A and B are shown apart, each in its own frame.
Chain A
Amino acid sequence: EPEVTQTPSHQVTQMGQEVILRCVPISNHLYFYWYRQILGQKVEFLVSFYNNEISEKSEIFDDQFSVERPDGSNFTLKIRSTKLEDSAMYFCASSVRENSNQPQHFGDGTRLSIL
Chain B
Amino acid sequence: AQTVTQSQPEMSVQEAETVTLSCTYDTSESDYYLFWYKQPPSRQMILVIRQEAYKQQNATENRFSVNFQKAAKSFSLKISDSQLGDAAMYFCAYRSAWGGSEKLVFGKGTKLTVNP
Chain B residues within 8 Å of A100, by CB: 33, 95-97, 102
Does A31 lie within 8 Å of B102, measured CB to CB?
yes
Does B47 sit within 8 A of A, measured CB to CB? yes
**B45 contact from A31, A44, A91, Cβ within 8 A:** A91
Complex alpha-carbon distance, A44 and B106, angstroms: 7
**B102 contact from A3, A4, A95, A109, Cβ within 8 A:** A95
Among A4, A33, A55, A100, the most chain B Cβ lie within 10 Å of the Cβ of A100
For the A-B complex, the count of residue pairs with Cβ-Cβ distances under 8 Å equals 57
Q: Of the 9-residue stretches A12-20, A35-43, A67-75, A80-88, which lies at the interface with chain B? A: A35-43
Chain B residues within 8 Å of A91, by CB: 44-45
Does B64 sit within 8 A of A, measured CB to CB? no
Does A33 lie within 8 Å of B97, measured CB to CB?
no
Does A104 sit within 8 A of B, measured CB to CB? yes
Does B101 sit within 8 A of A, measured CB to CB? yes
* CB-defined A-B contacts under 8 Å, sample of 30: A4-B44, A33-B103, A33-B104, A35-B104, A35-B106, A41-B108, A42-B107, A42-B108, A43-B91, A43-B104, A43-B109, A44-B106, A45-B103, A45-B105, A48-B102, A48-B103, A55-B100, A95-B102, A97-B102, A100-B97, A100-B102, A101-B33, A103-B35, A103-B50, A104-B102, A106-B37, A106-B44, A107-B44, A108-B44, A109-B44
Residues of A in contact with B (beta carbons under 8 Å apart): 3-4, 31, 33, 35, 41-45, 48, 55-56, 58, 91, 95, 97, 100-101, 103-109
Q: Kindly list 14 other residue pairs between chains A and B, CB separation below 8 angstroms, not including A42-B108, A100-B97, A101-B52.
A: A42-B106, A42-B107, A44-B106, A45-B105, A48-B103, A55-B100, A97-B102, A100-B33, A103-B35, A103-B50, A104-B102, A104-B104, A105-B47, A109-B44
Nearest first, the 8 A-B pairs at minimum CB distance are A45-B103, A106-B45, A43-B106, A103-B47, A108-B44, A106-B44, A42-B108, A48-B102
Residues of B in contact with A (beta carbons under 8 Å apart): 33, 35, 37, 42-47, 50, 52, 91, 95-97, 100-109
